[in-house]
Amino acid sequence: IVHDFRNILTSIIGQAEILQMETENERIRSELQAIIESGERGATIVSHLLALAKKVEQTKSQRLAPQHQAVLERLIGLVRFQLPPQIRLRHVIEEHLPAVELNVVEMEQILLNLVSNAAHAIEGDGEIDLYIRTEQGADGQSYLTIRVRDTGKGIPEDQLNQVTRPFWTSREKEGGTGLGLTMVQRIVKRHHGQLDIASSLGKGTTVTIKIPATVQADDNWPTFGAPALHAETHTMKPARILLVDDAEEVLRIHQALISRMGHAVTPATDGKKALDLLRSSKAPFNLVVTDYRMPELDGLGLLEEIRRSMPNLPVIMITAYGEDERLKKARELDAMLLNKPVNFHNLEQAIQQALTPIRSAQKP
């Protein structure tokens, strides 16, 4: 049911976004904006319902400036309901955070990976504290600081330098890939930031990330990385994209959104058809965007098939959060996960990131 609900919301948000792009009429645009925002609020409610169903404790949080409160709260909400109930996540987000070049996908990666690591380090009950605030560096520069502290088992001193290495993991048996911190470190480096890990064996670990502010604090932070996104949008090369979804309504909307970005989209209504298209098409595809839940050959099955013969083809998989343990497998197979509901901006960002060659360079 939750899954259907998300599809409905995706459809509402998507249709409204398409109409918004089609009209010049300001009044209609702003009314459509209200629809989009309601749809997004609906999505948040769905997330909260899910969280409740999973008995994940919810905490009240401090108020933020309206623009980024929503984004950060939503990300943390999503992170939160991946946690087992015996782990408590508290978070404090300072008001008036400085602008940074980080985009939503990157922020999400950072939060998800750090909180997931903290959760894995905790056996039984435990606490995770997440702070997002401005701190002044010794150089006088302002930094957006993200700090995740856990009461987990800690990291042995001789391993502190190893943990960010690609494929370094102490959770091999549990399915750890050892790429979580590697990815986080890449993002941090890309933004000329710093990553610091302090740990005390048996007591816990604190991971601190500092991202230099592009503008001093108090400047408003538009839509969280939106300026950077726009600058790059125009330089994105048109790509050939294979789009797979069994829900035709969703397929149609995503197709329209991606076409708007200037890409050529070929739709497929199931995994088998997608594979046929991949194999028989004369011009190669640059990217596959697939739904996860589909009858017969689902997104993961499709991904596995693709990896057999096309190890470097970028794949974005659209999923619902906290849906399935099997999704770990998708990450291992180098798919990028994108959470529902999908809208123009997060889809555009994901496609852009997927088409940037840094990703494939990770593999040995």
Ligand X SMILES: Nc1ncnc2c1ncn2[C@@H]1O[C@H](COP(=O)(O)OP(=O)(O)OP(=O)(O)O)[C@@H](O)[C@H]1O
Residue 90 beta carbon to Mg ion: minimum distance, rounded to whole angstroms = 20
The DSSP letter of residue 36 is H
Which residue's CB is nearer to ligand X, number 181 or number 217? 181
Q: Is 11 in the site for ligand X (CB under 6 A)?
A: no
How far, in Å, CA of 293 to CA of 313, rounded? 20
User: What six digits make up the tokens of 363?
Assistant: 């593999």
153 to 149, 175, 202, 301: CA distances (angstroms): 12, 18, 4, 36
Query: Computed from CA positions of residues 306, 311, 315, 320, in that sequence, does the dihedral angle turn out positive or negative?
Result: positive
The site that binds ligand X (CB under 6 A) totals a number of residues, namely 22
Rounded CA-CA distance 320/322 in Å is 7
**Quick one: how far is CA 298 from the chain centroid?**
21
Stretch that binds ligand X, among 37-45, 77-85, 91-99, 177-185 (CB under 6 A): 177-185
Binding track, positions 210-239, relative to ligand X; x by CB under 6 A: ------------------------------
117 binds Mg ion (CB under 5 A): yes
Give least dist CB 193 to ligand X, A: 17
We find the least distance from the C-beta atom of residue 111 to ligand X, in angstroms, to be 13
Distances (CA, A) of 48 to 42, 58, 93: 10, 9, 19
Distance between CA 71 and CA 171 in Å, rounded?
A: 31
Among 10, 15, 103, 117, binds ligand X (CB under 6 A): 117
Give, in order, the Cα–Cα distances in Å from 38 to each of 44, 191, 256, 308.
10, 33, 21, 42
- By CB under 6 A, tell whether 259 contacts ligand X: no
State the binding string over 157-196 for Mg ion (x if CB under 5 A, else -): -----------------------x----------------
Among ligand X, Mg ion, none, residue 74 binds (CB under 5-8 Å by kind): none
Residue span binding ligand X (CB under 6 A) among the ranges 29-37, 73-81, 89-97, 146-154: 146-154
315-319 β-sheet, strand order: 264-268, 240-244, 287-291, 315-319, 335-339
Closest residue to ligand X, judged by C-beta, is 180
Q: Taking CB under 6 A as the rule, which mask of x and - marks residues 118-137 in contact with ligand X?
A: x-xx----------------
Across 45-79, b (16+ Cβ under 10 Å) vs e yields ebbeebbeeeebeeeeeeebeeebbbbbbbbbbbb
117 vs 142 by CB, closer to ligand X: 117
The residue ranges that bind ligand X (CB under 6 A) are: 113, 117-118, 120-121, 150, 152, 154-155, 163, 168-171, 176-182, 205
